[in-house]
Amino acid sequence: MCGLTGFFDASGAMPADEMARVIEAMATTIHHRGPDDGGSWIDTSAGIALGSRRLAIVDLSQEGHQPMFSASGRYVIAFNGEIYNYGEIRRELDQTGVQWRGGSDTEVLLAAVERWGLEAALKRTVGMYALALWDRQERVLRLARDRMGEKPLYYGWFGSTLLFGSELKTLRPHPDFRPEIDRGAVALFMRHGYVPSPWSIYDGVRKLQPAAIATFRSNAGADSVSIQSYWSLSQAAQEGARDPFRGSDLEAKNALKDHLERAVRGQMVADVPVGAFLSGGVDSSALVSVMQSLSDRPVRTFTIGFDEARFDESEHARVVARHLGTDHTDLHVSPNDALNVIPHLPWIYDEPFADPSQIPTVVLSRLTRRHVTVSLSGDGGDELFRGYDRYLRAEQIRGVMDRFPSPVRRALCSGAMSISPAAWDRALGLLRQNGGRLSGHRVHAAAELLTQRSDAGLYRSMMSVWPDADSVVIDGVPRPTAFADPAVWTRVDHFHDRMMHLDQLDYLPEDLLVKVDRASMAASLESRAPFLDHRLVEFAWTIPLGMKMRNAKSKWLLRQLLYDYVPAQLIDRPKMGFAVPLAEWLRGPLRDWSEDLLSERRLTEEGFLDPARVRADWTEHLSGERDWKHKLWTVLMFQTWLDAERAQAPTPGVHREAAIVG
């Protein structure tokens, strides 16, 4: 696992010594992604510079040093990630007489590129990665990213210079970098809680999308870029629907086991200690169960717990770990421990990012890194196997939409919204005493959803933090995205498949994988996600919906596999998620901090967000009248990021990174 960066300016305007100094400074900004080794390479005549930081996972020797040359010297690569099936590719290349210098997956990838070309080589890979490949013969730069979007890659033109890197902070040391905040991207952030690709918070800087190869043949600017895909998630979904799995339940479970075992076995390969995140939920428990079945020693597992019982899954994780016989470590986190993470979030995430579970993810990554260098996670299980509660909730709301015409629904919803959440809570108190989960806030949320006129509108409303983000952001017109594209919504046929499809295209890579990548890499920890092995993803799309949800049980097929390892009574409970008591924190220990960031004077002077809208929600939240924690967190994360952006502090160096890891 590494971090990469670079620039391309064929004008030859920068002297060699300056190129060397700049690329070294750019690479230093991502020391945390690769504290074990670093390197840079420049070609003054071509105007190309590549920089790398290395977290040594496979082949710890200097033979894995980057940037790396191919055997012929034609290609130079900076590579961030892992090729899990590099052994198979290496054995195939052995038949062609390749002479190996070391044992790294990067060397194998370069040999594959020389043999088959980049696109064909990537189609053979199973892995997570981002890469920059310079062809010295054709003077062509190619950037590429893995199929599911686990590893990040930014790029953008500033004058005649193309800048690129694993994180936005790598671009800042270059003298041509002149960032300007994109108000359209701010509107996207307010809607989603993240800035979805291909956009970034800066005008002119893009994220390379998953499964894409970008080719730059000159430094003529954005018009010179050619982008092609070497794999398609939408095509995998369509093909799965056309040719679904037709075997029995037992045959489906055994096929799933084979796929998951193959993915886990490949991702357990490392020359450093490996562990796993374990929450005690279905996904992580299934993952750890398979890991333990493949291991001849106890697997290292890690979790954290909170003081607030309704947010604490640590006891569930301990019970599962004890049953499986893992070597388990947990850490009980106080509110202060978690809140101390907040000042570091702008540096860790580079862009505004507002998934509140980023806080425990950062804390868990730091804990885990004290013991191992690689940790496997259950990310992707919900999106592949219909695991989210909102899938069932959407189905229920859709049923009501089908039964009642729009005018009737609007009248009913208006009546429901006229009663405050607190009054609903009093009226529903008996239900909650009897174990019901209905609350006044849920009634209001359902009423808002029932006003939607279409299935696509229902999904987008459920997935929007600020549904009217363009009216909250001053002069902010949202950029076009797959999330809002009607053509993307209709690529698959069924409502449930459409939700999972868009979740895999948008929410998974833009929120969940960003959250885990930045949090783990800030701690110099490599996180791997076996559920995102593209072969497993393709298989999951062949599984009929009736095997994903049955008898009101989500992830039914995955549960059947898990029950072979862990008794159902240890697993079957309401889904908690990786949450923090954010609503209470905003009214308590975070109130003064929030009040400063949300002050009307400050919002007015900054000129990005409508002060009246923000202050109204803040006032309602403080009173307990409404729960606006998610909307307010997006504002707070933007304000915190804006503080860091305007401070223009020097990029953190080795010493600060070491402090953050510790």
Q: Is the pLDDT of residue 272 over 50?
A: yes
Handedness of CA 412, 413, 414, 417 (dihedral sign): positive
Calculate mean pLDDT across residues 76-87.
96
Beta pairing class for 274-277 and 374-376: parallel
List C-alpha distances in Å: 624 to 241, 415, 423. 46, 20, 11
Q: Is the pLDDT of residue 656 over 60?
A: no
Q: Is the pLDDT of residue 630 over 90?
A: yes
Identify the H or E element spanning 333.
strand 327-333
Handedness of CA 53, 56, 57, 59 (dihedral sign): positive
Backbone φ, ψ for residue 528 (5° rounding): -120, 150
* Whole-number Å distance between alpha carbons of 250 and 63: 46
Q: Is the pLDDT of residue 241 over 90?
A: yes
CB 449 within 8 A of CB 462: yes
Beta bridge partners of 81: 129
DSSP per residue over 375-396, as a string? Answer: EE--TTHHHHHT--HHHHHHHH
Q: Quickly count helices (H) and strands (E) in the chain.
A: 32, 17
pLDDT confidence of residue 344: 94
pLDDT confidence of residue 662: 31
pLDDT confidence of residue 392: 87
Beta bridge partners of 274: 374
> 417-452: per-residue pLDDT in tens?
778 777 777 777 755 544 456 677 778 777 778 888
Mean pLDDT of the chain, nearest integer = 90
Radius of gyration of the CA atoms of the chain, in A? 25
* Whole-number Å distance between alpha carbons of 174 and 447: 50
Lowest mean pLDDT among 43-47, 255-259, 261-265: 43-47
Lowest mean pLDDT among 119-123, 199-203, 465-469, 513-517: 465-469
pLDDT confidence of residue 84: 96
> 305-364: per-residue pLDDT in tens?
877 767 677 888 999 999 999 999 998 877 787 789 999 999 999 999 999 999 999 999
DSSP per residue over 109-178, as a string? Answer: HHHHHHHH-HHHHHHH--EEEEEEEEETTTTEEEEEE-SS--S--EEEEETTEEEEESSGGGGTTSTT--
Instruction: Out of 2, 42, 582, 609, pick the active-site residue.
Output: 2
* Whole-number Å distance between alpha carbons of 535 and 442: 38
* Whole-number Å distance between alpha carbons of 541 and 535: 10
CB 219 within 8 A of CB 47: yes
Calculate mean pLDDT across residues 9-26.
92
Length of the chain: 662
pTM passes above 0.95: no
* Whole-number Å distance between alpha carbons of 47 and 8: 5
Residue 196 tokens read as 């979805």
Calculate mean pLDDT across residues 48-59.
88
Identify the H or E element spanning 57.
none
* Strands in 289-326 per DSSP E: 300-306
Query: What confidence category does residue 653 fall into, taking pLDDT thresholds of 50, 70 and 90?
Result: very low
pLDDT confidence of residue 595: 96
- Residue 274 per-residue DSSP state: E
**Residue-wise burial string across 28-61, b where 16 or more C-beta atoms lie within 10 A, e elsewhere:** bbbbbbbbbbbbbbbbeebbbbbbbbbbbbbbbe
Compute how many other C-beta atoms are within 10 angstroms of the C-beta atom of residue 645.
18
- Which one-letter amino acid corresponds to residue 428? L
Residue 564 tokens read as 């072979």
Q: Is the pLDDT of residue 655 over 50?
A: no
Query: What confidence category does residue 1 fall into, taking pLDDT thresholds of 50, 70 and 90?
Result: low
CB 505 within 8 A of CB 234: yes
Compute how many other C-beta atoms are within 10 angstroms of the C-beta atom of residue 174.
22
Q: Is 2 a catalytic residue?
A: yes
CB 272 within 8 A of CB 372: yes
